[in-house]
Structures are given as C-alpha cells and as structure tokens.
Chain A
Amino acid sequence: MGSSGGAGPVIATTGLTKYYGRNRGIVDLDLEVRRGEAFGFLGPNGAGKTTTIRLLLDLLRASHGRATVLGRDVRRDGVEVRRRVGFTPGELFLFEKLTGRETLRFLAGLRGGVDWAYVDRLAGRLEADLGRRVGELSTGNKRKISLIQAFMHRPELLILDEPTAGLDPLMQNEFNRLIDEAREEGQTVFLSSHVLPEVRRLCDRVGFVRDGELVAVEDVATLLRRQVRELDLVFRAAVPAGLFTGIPGVLQAETDGVHAHLHVSGSFDEVFRRALPHGIVDVSSREPDLDEVFLTYYGEEPAADGDR
C-alpha cells in the first residue's frame, strides 16, 4: 500500500473488537470505507460508534483485530494517520481557559501550521466567535471551534462524531455545505450519528451499529426505497376497517372511525388513491426513530439477520 493510500479503502477494519470495562464497546467489526465516499455510522447512543472512532485514532487499544486508515496501521503509524485525518469528537472537551483563536493556534501548531486564511474563512462561514474564552461559549459555539479544527488542514479523511449536536439549523445547513465541498475536493467523510435524516442527507452508504455490532451496511439509495414512514390520516367520515389491506408496502394499517394509522414503505400512490374518495381532512407523516427502523428492517434480533 502506497503512502497516499491509492485506490485502497480509506478505513478498513478486520475483526476489530474492544471490550470496555463491563460493557462491550464494539465486537468483531469488519468495515470498509471507500475513498471519496461519505459513510454514515448510524446507531443509538452507546452502540459502539465512539469506541470505534477512538480505536481509529489510537486513543483506545483494540482487544482483538486491527484497523488501517489511509492504508496505515492505526497503532504503528498513528502519528502519520492522524496527520492526514481531521476529527471532531462527540463530547466537546476543549481548553476552557483559551479563546477560540488561541485554541486553534495551539492545535494548528500541533500540525506544524495550517493555512490561517482558510481558518478565518471557516470561522466566518460558521459565524464562530474566536475572541471569547472557550469556557464561556455555548455548546453550539464550542461545536463550531471543534468543526473548524477538524477542517482546517483540509484532511484526506474527516472523522466526525455526532458533528451537528448543538448546532442551530442555520449552522447545520452551513455544515452540510462544508461536507458537500469537502466531497467535491475528494475528501472522504466518516460521520457518526444517531439521527437518520442527517446521514441520509450527507452520506452515500450507511452502517447500522447496535449493541457493539455492525448490523448492516446499506446504500442510502436502497434505504430511501425501503424507508418506512408512519402516516396518520383523518377522514371526513368513518372509513371501513379493511380499507388499506392488501396494498403492497403497507406494513401495518389500523383504522378507527375517521382515523387511520399506517406504516408505509415505498410509494404512497395506492394509499392515497384509496383514501381520496373518503375525503381527507388531515395528513401527517412522521419519520420513525432509529429503533423502529431497526425493528422494521431487521426484526427483533438485529444480529440474527447475519447480514454483515
């Protein structure tokens, strides 16, 4: 493997396992992230996402298995790996007594210097206040400092652990644009999240983690096709009980007088075709939370699927 990593995977783990005190952090993880892609690492809190990321940065040492980043062993060539990676942690620990600017100058110094004009540009776009002490900043403003330091050296790989937690919606949009631009530049993105929409918006592929295990890896396109939504309808008059039975993609349908509650995957066409004659008063659709996604995709026992 060449020093630039060439065409090989940007992240590759084989049998990566970390037992963590009483808990198991991550078990037998086989993961491959391709050059230039944005990979979403999705799972509930405590599933093992942060453990995996900390293993990649050599902050934790694996119980078994190994990991390479950009073709380099994370253990043996950790310094070289981290030179080419930008990282924002989920938990924001920063130097409380330093100002944002002092923090970034210090961290840039650990990298042997960065293009300071680019740092200023990032700070401007994220509207980060670099003049105040980090300890006085809100979570959202600390998050901006943390994002700037991850992006500031234009790394080949961005490892972002819950990067938008605490950011207001406007800044989340700016963050999305930063990710899009990074991808245009050919940077690879590894992003952990516990919210599906964020991953769906930003990523090409998604790995589902649960209880320390990688349950499945899917293309986002496939995910969108198989996406399940909850649909609540209110009609002008009571509707017959079996109105929505037998429609492909309707996984579940309950009707109760003028109300109907459905779980629908794929197209809504047939549902609305049948609903329309009864007069629709109100429609609401809700994104299922991650646990429900798991249940509908993988049943009660996520690991039993064997799809790894």
Chain B
Amino acid sequence: MLGDLYLKELRDQRWSLLLWSLAIIGYVVLMCAVYPTIGESQAALEELIDSLPPAFKNYILGQAGDFFTPAGYLGARVFALLSPLVMLIFGVGVGGRTVAGEEDGGTMGVILAYPIARRTALARKYLVVLTVTAAVVLAHLIGLLIGVASVGMDVGIGRLLQASLSLWLLTVLGASLTFAAGAAGARRGTATAIAAGLLLVTYLLDTLGLLVSGLEWLRDLSFFYYYGGGQVLNRGLDGVHVAVLLACIAACIAVAFPTFLRRDIRQ
C-alpha cells in the first residue's frame, strides 16, 4: 500500500541512515559517560556561573535549569544545542534531497511520467521524511537509554520520551522547510539555504530573547523556544508549544502540496 516509491527511497537511504544512527548513538552515550566527571568540578563551575553577568547566567540557567542534576546536564549538553544541531543538519538534508534533489537529478520527471499522481508521489516522499527522521531520533533515544543506564543517571524514561518527541518535531520541521521549498520549485541548494537561514534567524531570536531583558517577546517568534531546549527534561512537554510546532509543520505542508501540484517539473 505504501508503494514502491516509499520503499525505494528508504532503501536508497539505508546506509546513510545506518551511519547517522550509529554516530548519534555513539555521541549520546559519550555525553552521558562524561557526566560523572563534572561532579568533581562542580564547585568550580558553580563559582564560575555565579561570577557571570546576570543576563548570561539567566541564559545558561534558562536553557537547562540546574546544570548539575542529571536532567539539567542532559538538557544543557545534549538537548539545548548539540542534538538539535545534529538532527537539523540531518533533517534539512533529507527534506532537500527527497524533492529538490530528485528534481535536480532529473528523475522527478521519470517518476511523474508514470501513472502516479503528483499528490501521491509527494505524500509518499513526505512519509519517507517522517520515517527517517523518526529513525534517527529513535537512535538518539536508544543512545540516551544506554548512556543513562550505564552511568546510573536518575532521569525518568517518560521525560526522555517527551524530550525526544520534541526533538523529533523540531527535526521534522527543519526537514519540512527544505521539503516545502523544494516542492515549491527551489533547487536543492536554494531550499537548503532558505531552511538554514530561517532556522538560524529563529535560533538567534531565541538566544537574544534569553540574553536581553525587555526583548523576551522575541522568543515567541522562535522555533527553538517552542522546541523547549533542555527544559522539556526538567518540566515536561508544554502542550501549547507542541501545538505551535505542529502548526509550523502543517504550514510547510500547506505550501508544499498546492505549489507542487500546480507547477512545471524541471528536466
């Protein structure tokens, strides 16, 4: 029922997906393994953080909460910056490859010269995006579970699941941006630039909102604020934030389909 297009794309990506997954598991396990060593330097670090200007201190605590609890540590070191960065690089790449890349390579015209409706082709490609992003987020979760268990960190599985869900939504959003740009007719390079630019700008808005008092409202404009950074591990998922991320993803889909159905296919 999913059809050959979906299966072919999964097959095309199997090695890249495997390598990404292994690398991500390795990276997350490593991050967890380092946790016991920070306890030794806790006093020095706390002193350092206390000596920072209040705005910067707020920023660090705002990203992660208490750095020295297991959840605080994972929030700050893993979920706040590094994991979203890695996931978004992967997601933006996948979103760009599946539509803009296929068209740049000339094979979109081959597929659509077959008895498959454009809507169906695009839907199957989007399903590929959902699947492979879920796969790498799952690898990330597996890494966390291994790491947390082996070091004996006290983090609830429920919270890990919630933080992973939020990470997946952000990844899907990043992939949806390049997907939609490609569906609307952008070449892969352009689609990637559009998505990366948007993500970077909203990341800066989030950071600026955290750092500068009076500019907190800027955070409301940022994908990363709704993603929640390290906070999901401490406080759990915020339903409204999830809804905003879903709405952004829906907006990408709402752009992708009508534009793709209406336009010429490049050769």
Contact = CB atoms under 8 A, between A and B. Distances in A.
Interface stretch (A31-39, A87-95, A213-221, A296-304): A87-95
Contacts of B106: 91, 93
B8 A91 contact: no
A60 interface: yes
Given A89-B109, A93-B107, A107 B114 contact: yes
Given A109-B4, A110-B4, A110-B5, A59 B114 contact: no
A111 B114 contact: yes
A58 B117 CA distance: 10
B239 interface: no
A59 B4 contact: no
Contact of B115 (A50, A59, A80, A89): A80
Contacts of B264: 59-61
A97 B113 contact: no
Nearest to A90: B267
B3 A109 contact: yes
A15 interface: no
B12 A93 contact: no
Contacts of B5: 110
Contact of A91 (B4, B111, B114, B267): B267
A241 interface: no
Contact of B12 (A60, A61, A87, A97): A97
A82 B114 contact: yes
Interface in B88-111: 105-107, 109-111
Interface string B241-267: 000000000000000000000111101
Contacts of B12: 97
B116 interface: yes
Given A106-B8, A109-B3, A89 B117 contact: no
A98 B107 CA distance: 12
Contacts of A59: 109, 112-113, 264-265, 267
Nearest to B5: A110
Contacts of A83: 115
A78 B117 contact: yes
Interface in B115-132: 115-117
B233 to A, nearest CB: 40
A58 B265 CA distance: 9
Nearest to A93: B106
Most buried by A among B3, B114, B265, B267: B114
Contacts of B267: 50, 54, 59, 89, 91, 93
A79 interface: yes
Contacts of A110: 3-5, 111, 114-116
Contacts of A79: 115-117
Contacts of A57: 112-113
Contacts of A78: 117
A59 B121 CA distance: 13
Contacts of B105: 93, 96
Interface in A54-72: 54, 57-61
A93 B110 contact: yes
A85 to B, nearest CB: 8
A23 B264 CA distance: 15
Nearest to B112: A59
B192 to A, nearest CB: 21
B127 to A, nearest CB: 16
Contacts of B115: 79-80, 82-83, 110-111
Nearest to A95: B107
Contacts of A54: 109, 265, 267
A61 B262 CA distance: 8
Interface string B1-24: 001110010001000000000000
A107 B110 CA distance: 9
A94 B8 CA distance: 14
Nearest to B262: A61
Contacts of A95: 8, 107, 110
Contacts of A61: 262-264
B75 to A, nearest CB: 40
A82 B111 CA distance: 11
Contacts of A89: 109-110, 113, 267
Contacts of B4: 106, 109-110
Contacts of A111: 114-115
A87 B113 contact: yes
Contacts of A87: 113
Nearest to A53: B113
A83 B112 CA distance: 11
Given A57-B113, A94-B107, 5 more contacts: A59-B265, A89-B267, A93-B267, A110-B111, A110-B116
13 contacts: A50-B267, A54-B109, A54-B265, A59-B109, A61-B263, A61-B264, A82-B113, A82-B115, A87-B113, A93-B106, A94-B110, A97-B12, A109-B3
* A-B pairs, 7 with minimum CB distance: A93-B106, A109-B4, A83-B115, A110-B114, A82-B115, A59-B265, A60-B264
